[in-house]
Each structure stands twice: as C-alpha cells, then as structure tokens.
Amino acid sequence: MAKRPTPGVVETPVGTPDMKVREAFAKGWAVIVWNDPVNLMSYVVFVFMKILGFTKEQATKHMLEVHNRGKSCVAIETREKAELYHQQIQAHGLTVTIQPVDHESE
C-alpha cells in the first residue's frame, strides 16, 4: 500500500539528485589493481607512488600483494575519487577496477 504523504513535509524520493550526490561523496568504493604478466614490478611501484602518493614501503607492499595474490585493494575512496584513480591508473597501463566495498571480496 502506498504511503500517504505527510502534509507540509517534502519527502525525497529514491534516486533523486540528492541521493546521487550523497552516493558520490560516500567513502565506499574500492580501487583494485590486478596482476598481469607484462607490467614491471618497479613500474608498478612507481605508478603507486606517483598516483596514489604512497611511500616506498606502502607501494612495495601493495605491488607484492598484486604479484603474490593476484590483486590488491589500493584505496577505499568516494566514488568520485575512486573514478579518478581508476582512470589515472588505467592510463598508466595497469589493470584496475573499482567497485563498492561490499563487493570487494568477490
């Protein structure tokens, strides 16, 4: 049964621009870099330091995770920031995906 609107109260329907803005700025998007046979280990460390601002230690840890486990979650960010990282990392030739954190373990 449809809910009757309360007089004087403006309800925000699902999927409105307000919700899209909230979703865009909620920090719930994982940036995942995947292993591939061609990119060099040194190059991957370089890209992580340059784009993600990682220290040598952070970059090395994530590079080794990609190498040994096949992937590494390198950032959990707002959708907007995750999309930026996604594009920058892909432009450097690494294989990268973004997805909501709930699905990160898939």
Partner 1 sequence: MKASRDGDRIVLALGGGEALILRWALVSLVAAYRVPPGQIDPRIAAVWYSRRGCQTAKMSEEDAGEWVRQIHAFKSENLALIEAWLGQLAKKPGRRIELVLTVDQAEAFVRVLNDHRLRAAAEHEIGQEEMDIRDPGPMERLGPERQTALVEIHFFAWAIEEILRQIAPDAAGWGAGSE
- According to the binding rule CB under 8 A, does residue 71 interact with partner 1? no
- According to the binding rule CB under 8 A, does residue 27 interact with partner 1? no
**Which segment (1-9, 10-18, 20-28, 48-56) binds partner 1 by CB under 8 A?**
48-56
- According to the binding rule CB under 8 A, does residue 91 interact with partner 1? yes
User: How does 60-99 read in b/e, with b if 16+ C-beta sit within 10 Å?
Assistant: bebbebbeeeebbebbebebebbeebbebbeebebebebe
CA distance readout (Å), 71 to 9, 23, 28, 82: 48, 25, 18, 16
- According to the binding rule CB under 8 A, does residue 58 interact with partner 1? no
- According to the binding rule CB under 8 A, does residue 50 interact with partner 1? yes
Cβ nearer to partner 1, comparing 45 with 75: 45
CA distance readout (Å), 78 to 25, 42, 53, 64: 5, 28, 17, 25
User: Would you tell me which residues interact with partner 1 (CB under 8 A)?
Assistant: 29, 35-46, 49-50, 56, 59, 63, 66-67, 79, 82-83, 86-87, 90-93, 95-99, 103
